[in-house]
Amino acid sequence: RGKYRAEKSAMNILFDQLDEGRLSARSFHRILRLAWSFADLAGRLQPSKEDVERGVEMKIHLARDL
């Protein structure tokens, strides 16, 4: 299994976004890496659903500004 996976509920968010065409594979991995950064800063061993949601929100916000 994926060594660098987030919590199951967090991964489900990413897979749903990917399946619906709202995320590219590249964005999927970038958001997951960002979620890992949030988890590390908070001292957690694994990204949570909130970490992934925060990453998705940042991506949406940055995409609007382009």
Statement: residue 47 has pLDDT above 60: yes
What confidence tens digit (pLDDT) does each residue in 8-22 have? 999 999 999 999 999
Mean pLDDT of 39-62: 93
Residue type, 65: D
pTM: 0.86
Are 48 and 7 contacting, i.e. CB atoms less than 8 angstroms apart? yes
**Element (DSSP H or E) covering residue 5:** none
Residue for token digits 């990453």?
55
Start-to-end Cα distance in the chain? 36
Residue for token digits 């509920």?
9
